């Protein structure tokens, strides 16, 4: 049985805490872009994410990342499906933040681990210990209470949870490098996102480098990192 040193445990705790703090601040970032139509935000996020990720992969491994995945037709199909799932998830999340549904969006990512556990048990045939089942039931009870308290089905939360759950499942069953997989997903989405951004510039809410201020333009570009 492997053991974790105190130093590794502290490092893991720090990374986990930092991740959740940054994730909690993400809604603030997208809210600062509320003057930009949600479709344009998601289009720019995909475009700039593709540029950054592919540039990083080319700089660190040339075209090996692409060749390794292109040699696996099943992986290409799986990543095509996961790219659709994550694009839907990103779009719904950004729209929900800018439409004032922050709490329901947060509930979606609270539900997601439950769905991931369910998919793991049903699809991947994973087994849970008794204490893990107790934790799942307690979390499910919390979700049920929040749903009842809201007085209506949390459709946004369910959409986010299901899309991210499907994304996680597809990425789990395809054996590729995580960053290389993200690169392929980004390439799949790049053309549709570019066309959407170009459509926005033709009088449909887009004003990149021509109407929004410099700060907004910079935030859209940096959104590829966020």
Nearest residue to 226 via CA among 36, 45, 47? 45
Q: Please give the pLDDT value at position 150.
A: 72
Write out pLDDT tens, residues 114-158: 888 888 888 888 887 888 788 788 878 887 887 777 777 788 999
Q: Which residues contact 185 (CB under 8 A, 6 or more apart)?
A: 79, 82, 83, 86
Instruction: Specify burial of residue 42 (Cβ count, 10 A radius: 0-12, 13-18, 19+).
Output: buried
Segments making up each domain of the chain, as ranges? 38-222
Distance, CA of 38 to CA of 65 (rounded, Å): 31
- Calculate what percentage of the chain has a pLDDT beyond 90: 41
CB 141 within 8 A of CB 95: no
Local structure of 213: helix, strand or coil: coil
């Amino acid at each position: 049985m492997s053991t974790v040193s105190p130093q590794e445990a502290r490092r893991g705790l720090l990374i986990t805490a930092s991740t959740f703090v940054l994730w909690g601040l993400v809604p603030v970032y997208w809210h600062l872009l509320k003057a930009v139509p949600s479709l344009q935000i998601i289009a720019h996020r995909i475009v700039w994410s593709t540029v950054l990720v592919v540039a990083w992969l080319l700089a660190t491994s040339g075209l090996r990342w692409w060749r390794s995945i292109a040699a696996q037709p099943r992986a290409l199909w799986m990543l095509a499906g996961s790219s659709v799932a994550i694009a839907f998830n990103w779009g719904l999340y950004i729209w929900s933040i800018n439409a004032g549904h922050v709490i329901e969006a947060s509930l979606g990512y609270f539900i997601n681990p439950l769905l991931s556990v369910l998919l793991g048990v049903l699809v991947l045939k994973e087994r849970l210990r008794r204490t893990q089942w107790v934790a799942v039931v307690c979390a499910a009870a919390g979700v049920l209470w929040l749903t009842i308290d809201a007085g209506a089905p949390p459709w946004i939360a369910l959409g986010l949870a299901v899309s991210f759950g499907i994304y996680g499942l597809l990425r789990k069953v395809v054996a590729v490098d995580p960053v290389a997989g993200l690169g392929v997903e980004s390439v799949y989405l790049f053309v549709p996102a570019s066309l959407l951004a170009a459509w926005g510039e033709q009088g449909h809410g887009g004003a990149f480098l021509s109407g929004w201020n410099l700060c907004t333009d910079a935030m859209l570009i940096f959104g590829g990192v966020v």
